[in-house]
């Protein structure tokens, strides 16, 4: 029999595809990881705190069900089957052919193809399998932890201490009574000049070392009997003192450590006010040699020359106060020529002229103190039209307007001193039982700093200086035999 001419029998192909998909353990997306490092933030008024926190062991169990669908297309494979037929024939009447062959192939995953045919044939089979596998897994996660958290807290303290008036060193620190006190503060260290009754009423200057008050140079360094109407100034960290006979500067040299600035014993008069800046050294005063009118001198070399006309005010002056803005001096005073009201005058380079109208206050006024806020002159004074209370006015164009309301203090004010620092207005004065008070202009109104009349007893010759926003006052302290006392508010 010709086996090769017979029909091809049915080919049976067994394809076994084994595909395993592992659904791995996953953390629940809403479950946070434990972080053993924590920062403990504490806001409180306390010292540094170390705190140990122990967390109760936590056992977290959750069950998760996920469905995973995998679609995989296996690259097309072509299987070529080659079969070889061998026939044996026996010459007889009966022919019994027998042809058997087996071919095995492995494709990708475990695939076994077995073909059985009866013929001599070469067959190509193309298989393009697509495997879709859907897996549903259920996951149970159990986490057990015992956690101990030790946290060291760094505490930042924010002080809410209420500021108050504090005596610097001892009250009444001078050896004897101290009149005409005048105060400056250098590098947060107060210096006070005064008429020293223990040294024949000459000038002494003392400073606080952090432990006690001590003399700057010699006690009583001025000429005998001339230490009245003392005015102190600070320029480039150097100390200047003006008084009735002249101006002196501390150099630390010579017998007393203090030296004359320009002429000695020039006889300045009364109500002396000195000012030192980059444009020169100035002194304003009630000029007794010129009928008590206001005068200003400026140092030229070693000579104190009159600036403009000597005695330039319309009438006698009282309570003279000086401020030099750049190179222009401004003088405020009680003007006897204008109904005892306050007048401010400035030197134009040619002559003295009134700033605004002469006598601009509403009535009789005393003890003016002038300062500048930027380019604007401001004057504080005792306003006798409102029972002697404190009023403050500032120049607005050519008119003077009240800063806040008129008559802002509770009682009559004396020894008024104005200081403006960083746009903040401070005024120190004697009132309320003759004690020291300080007011500050805050949010459109004047408010007392601390208690009105905070000094221990009656005060005279009140002086004010503000350093780094902290106001200092010096005064003759009636509670301590009129010796000097210095206080600050913080």
Tokens read off for 420: 């403006």
Going through 112-217 in order, the beta strands assigned E by DSSP cover 122-127, 130-145, 148-153, 165-167, 178-186, 189-196, 202-208, 213-215
Instruction: Give the domain CATH number at 369.
Output: 2.120.10.70
pLDDT value at residue 159: 53
Q: Give helix then strand counts, H and E, for the chain.
A: 0, 34
* Among candidate residues 130, 21, 132, the one with its CA nearest the CA of residue 66: 21
324 and 372 fall within a common domain: yes
111 and 219 fall within a common domain: no
Give the residue from 153, 184, 203 where a domain finishes: 153
The torsion angle over the Cα atoms of residues 476, 481, 483 and 484, rounded to 10 degrees, is -50
Give the residue from 102, 125, 153 where a domain finishes: 153
Give the residue from 127, 153, 179 where a domain finishes: 153
181 and 67 fall within a common domain: no
87 sits in the region (left: phi over 0; alpha: psi -120 to 50; else beta) called: beta
Low-confidence ranges of the chain (pLDDT < 70): 1-160, 224-225
pLDDT value at residue 119: 45
- Number of folded domains that form the chain: 2
> pLDDT tens digit string along 316-338?
999 999 999 999 999 999 999 99
Assigned domain for 40 exists: no
Asked if 381 and 361 count as a contact pair (C-beta separation under 8 A), the reply is yes
Number of CB atoms found within 10 A of residue 93's CB: 5
pLDDT value at residue 89: 43
247 and 378 fall within a common domain: yes
Full domain range(s) for residue 289:
165-489
pLDDT value at residue 133: 53
248 and 287 fall within a common domain: yes
196 and 138 fall within a common domain: no
129 and 170 fall within a common domain: no
pLDDT value at residue 433: 82
pLDDT value at residue 229: 96
User: How many C-alpha atoms does 393 have within 13 Å on its Cβ side?
Assistant: 25
Assigned domain for 45 exists: no
Assigned domain for 251 exists: yes
Its pTM stands at: 0.69
Q: How far apart are CA 98 and CA 87, in angstroms?
A: 7
367 and 247 fall within a common domain: yes
pLDDT value at residue 138: 54
Assigned domain for 41 exists: no
pLDDT value at residue 258: 96
480 and 343 fall within a common domain: yes
440 and 309 fall within a common domain: yes
Assigned domain for 31 exists: no
Assigned domain for 483 exists: yes
Assigned domain for 315 exists: yes
101 and 200 fall within a common domain: no
Assigned domain for 32 exists: no
136 and 272 fall within a common domain: no
């Amino acid at each position: 029999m010709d086996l090769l001419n017979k029909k091809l029998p049915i080919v049976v192909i067994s394809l076994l595809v084994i595909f395993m998909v592992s659904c791995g353990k996953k953390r629940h997306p809403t479950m946070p990881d434990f972080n053993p490092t924590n920062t403990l933030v504490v806001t409180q008024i306390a010292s540094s705190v170390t705190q140990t926190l122990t967390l109760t062991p936590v056992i977290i169990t959750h069950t998760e069900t996920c469905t995973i669908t995998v679609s995989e297309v296996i690259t097309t494979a072509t299987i070529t089957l080659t079969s070889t037929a061998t026939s044996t024939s026996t010459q007889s009447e009966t022919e019994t052919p027998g042809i058997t062959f087996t071919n095995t192939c492995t494709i990708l995953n475990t695939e076994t193809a077995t073909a059985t045919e009866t013929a001599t044939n070469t067959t190509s089979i193309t298989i393009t399998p697509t495997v879709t596998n859907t897996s549903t897994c259920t996951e149970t996660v159990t986490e057990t932890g015992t956690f101990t958290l030790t946290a060291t807290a760094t505490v930042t303290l924010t002080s809410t201490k209420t500021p108050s008036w504090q005596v610097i060193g001892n009250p009444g620190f001078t050896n004897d009574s101290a009149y005409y006190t005048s105060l400056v503060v250098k590098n947060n260290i107060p210096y006070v000049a005064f008429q020293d009754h223990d040294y024949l009423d000459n000038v002494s200057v003392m400073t606080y070392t952090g432990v006690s008050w001590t003399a700057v140079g010699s006690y009583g360094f001025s000429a005998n009997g001339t230490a009245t109407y003392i005015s102190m100034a600070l320029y480039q960290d150097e100390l200047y003192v003006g008084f009735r006979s002249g101006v002196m500067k501390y150099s630390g040299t010579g017998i007393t450590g203090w030296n004359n600035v320009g002429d000695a014993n020039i006889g300045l008069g009364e109500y002396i006010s000195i000012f030192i800046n980059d444009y020169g050294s100035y002194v304003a005063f009630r000029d007794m040699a010129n009928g008590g009118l206001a005068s200003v001198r400026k140092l030229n070399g070693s000579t104190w020359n009159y600036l403009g006309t000597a005695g330039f005010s319309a009438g006698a002056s009282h309570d003279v106060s000086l401020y030099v803005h750049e190179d222009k001096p401004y003088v405020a005073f009680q003007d006897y020529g204008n109904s005892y009201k306050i007048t401010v005058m400035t030197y134009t380079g040619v002559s003295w002229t009134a700033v605004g109208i002469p006598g601009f206050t509403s009535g009789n006024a005393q003890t003016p103190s002038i300062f500048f806020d930027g380019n604007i002159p401001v004057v504080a004074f005792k306003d006798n039209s409102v029972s002697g209370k404190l009023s403050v006015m500032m120049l607005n164009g050519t008119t003077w307007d009240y800063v806040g309301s008129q008559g802002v203090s509770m009682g009559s004010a004396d020894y008024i001193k104005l200081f403006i620092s960083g746009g903040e207005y401070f005024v120190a004065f004697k009132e309320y039982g003759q004690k020291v008070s300080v007011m500050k202009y805050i949010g459109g109104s004047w408010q007392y700093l601390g208690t009105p009349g905070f000094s221990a007893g009656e005060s005279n010759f009140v002086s004010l200086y503000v350093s780094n926003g902290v106001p200092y006052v010096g005064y003759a302290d009636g509670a301590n035999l009129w010796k000097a006392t210095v206080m600050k508010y913080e």
